[in-house]
Amino acid sequence: MVFYLVGLGLGNVRDITVNGLDAVKKASRVYLESYTSILCYGLDKSQLEQFYGRDIIDADRTCVEQNSDEILENAHKEDVVLLVVGDPFGATTHTDLVLRAREKNIPVRVLHNASIMNACACSGLQLYRFGETVSIVMWSEEWQPESFYERIASNLERGLHTLCLLDIKTKEQSIENMMKGRKIYEPPRYLTASDAAKQLITISQRIVERGETPAYTEESMVVALARVGWENQKIVYCTLSQLAEVDMGDPLHSLIIPGETHPLEDEMLATFTRH
């Protein structure tokens, strides 16, 4: 039998492919990977179950990363599906699952779908002009990493655009609850485009304070994306300093730092300019 990785796309329950839906309907067990991304904000598992006409098992970080044998159990005898928001290979975690399945001689089939990695072209920026994608984490007072800056700088030096994926924290535990073994979780948190802009500005200011020239400034133009693929998708093209004051609404948010642009890209970007 087969272990299926099924991409759900970006919008809602109806974005699953026909092949993906067929796999869901015939599988013995269906899991929903629930921590690397979210479906349409406010959509819960029960709505998926209603649309698919079957029960779905929640697969959190612990289940996917530490207890993958539970997901793959009996997959050599029966079909098992793991539903993934976006495309199945949008996160390295799912590549690891494929490798584990193949180690057990379990056939694997991947059913692809749209993800932010290609849907970001809705900004008007051409996909083949993008460089390395970076992840921007949510800063705290004690932890403010800047490691992604070097990759942004490298992309800009080559004239390439940078897609910045913004941090999400779901089913996180406080240090106290973790130490005491209590399964009490913090409310979900999502890094906003405006907060990401503030962090990027802070990094550029620190570089100036070190006597160096940053790859971008607070007046550099950027593209903010919110809820790509959803009915209320929002795109804004403005400076970093302006974005720091923009409310993009509900998650999920992403950010693009453009490199050198083609006139056609400029024309599309102009339609998203914030006045």
Peptide bond into 252 cis (omega under 30): yes
Residues 48 and 84: beta-carbon distance below 8 Å: no
Q: Around Cβ 191, how many Cβ atoms within 10 Å?
A: 24
Q: Is 228 exposed, middle or buried (0-12, 13-18, 19+ CB in 10 A)?
A: buried
What is the C-alpha separation between 228 and 211, in angstroms, rounded? Answer: 38
What is the C-alpha separation between 212 and 191, in angstroms, rounded? Answer: 28
Virtual torsion, Cα 50, 229, 193, 196, nearest 10 deg:
90
What does the chain come to in residues?
275
Per the annotation, does 112 bind a ligand?
no
Per the annotation, does 87 bind a ligand?
yes
Per the annotation, does 191 bind a ligand?
no
Query: CB within 8 A of 52, min separation 6: which ones?
Result: 13, 21, 24, 25, 30
Residues 27 and 81: beta-carbon distance below 8 Å: yes
Per the annotation, does 201 bind a ligand?
no
Per the annotation, does 90 bind a ligand?
yes
Residues 196 and 236: beta-carbon distance below 8 Å: no
Per the annotation, does 204 bind a ligand?
no
Please tell me whether residue 72 adopts helix, strand or coil conformation: helix
Which amino acids are annotated as binding site for S-adenosyl-L-methionine, given as ranges?
Answer: 10, 87, 90, 115-116, 166, 228, 253
Which amino acids are annotated as binding site, given as ranges?
Answer: 10, 87, 90, 115-116, 166, 228, 253
